[in-house]
């Protein structure tokens, strides 16, 4: 610390930032890394929102809501879900690409996230936001918030099968799960279910949860037993 000014930890900077500015920059790197967006591209979208009131970046909607003192207040949403709300000093927004040298911060954050995910996998249920294509032996507890009408398809073995798409929700996001044949009638809308030994796949560019023969799907709390004042945010 020199004269009340700080620099981002770990590497000297060409421009000195206050402690608050440093924390904001690190938070932006954390947020962009969490959503797998290049930090520089994410920052450019924030600047666009500051200038035009709104911007979209990789499925995230960024809105400039108000100005408080010398800070711009931003709201980030994904669909109807609030992702974050935070202030950014206008002094930072006027800098050309202040995150261009943020690779070392991103690497540190990615490492911390990977450690967190491995611990979650080892200890129990994962959260939807942590699911990545290719992951296996997934344990997930979530609520069914949508079930499509069942459809009949012809399989590769020339047999007919029935399937429906269920949307699972926890406090971190949503993911689709395909239910085949008898499993369709095992669950109902608003049931809280436990998935054991699931897999994450990519289907038409979208992450989906898959339960194969060695996986299990169990209703741990039926919709009928959930009181009206229970919300999805109470899922553990």
pLDDT in tens, 150-169: 998 887 777 888 999 999 99
Q: How far apart are CA 191 and CA 181, in angstroms?
A: 18
Q: What is the DSSP letter of 42?
A: H
Q: Is the pLDDT of residue 44 over 80?
A: yes
Mean pLDDT on 52-73: 93
More confident residue, 45 or 225: 45
Q: Is the pLDDT of residue 108 over 70?
A: no
Q: From residue 203, how far is each of 145, 168, 206 by CA, in Å? A: 20, 16, 5
Domains delineated in the chain: 19-110 (no CATH), 125-234 (2.40.50.140)
- The SS3 of residue 181 is helix
- Which backbone phi and psi does 46 adopt, to 5 degrees? -65, -40
What residues contact residue 2 under an 8 Å CB cut-off, 6+ apart? 16
Q: Is the pLDDT of residue 5 over 80?
A: no
What residues contact residue 235 under an 8 Å CB cut-off, 6+ apart? 141, 142, 143, 169, 170, 171, 192
Task: Give the rounded distance of the alpha carbon of 162 from its chain centre.
Answer: 30
């Amino acid at each position: 610390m020199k004269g009340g000014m700080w620099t981002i930890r770990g590497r000297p900077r060409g421009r000195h930032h206050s402690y608050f500015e440093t924390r904001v920059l690190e938070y932006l790197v954390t947020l962009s890394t969490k959503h797998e967006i290049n930090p520089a591209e994410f920052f450019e979208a924030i600047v666009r929102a500051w200038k035009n009131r709104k911007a979209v970046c990789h499925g995230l909607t960024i809105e400039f809501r108000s100005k408080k003192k010398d800070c711009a207040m931003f709201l980030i949403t994904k669909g109807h879900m609030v992702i974050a709300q935070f202030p950014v000093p206008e002094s930072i927004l006027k800098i050309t690409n202040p995150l261009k040298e943020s690779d070392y911060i991103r690497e540190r954050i990615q490492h911390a996230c990977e450690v967190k995910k491995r611990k979650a996998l080892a200890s129990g249920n994962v959260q939807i936001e942590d699911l990545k294509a290719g992951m296996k032996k997934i344990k997930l507890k979530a609520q069914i918030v949508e079930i499509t009408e069942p459809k009949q398809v012809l399989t590769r073995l020339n047999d007919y099968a029935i399937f429906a798409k269920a949307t699972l929700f926890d406090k971190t996001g949503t993911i689709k799960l395909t239910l085949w044949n008898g499993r369709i009638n095992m669950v109902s809308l608003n049931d809280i279910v436990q998935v054991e030994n699931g897999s994450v796949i990519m289907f038409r560019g979208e992450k989906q949860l898959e339960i194969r023969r060695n996986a299990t799907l169990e209703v741990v709390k039926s919709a009928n037993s959930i009181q009206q004042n229970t919300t999805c945010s109470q899922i553990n």
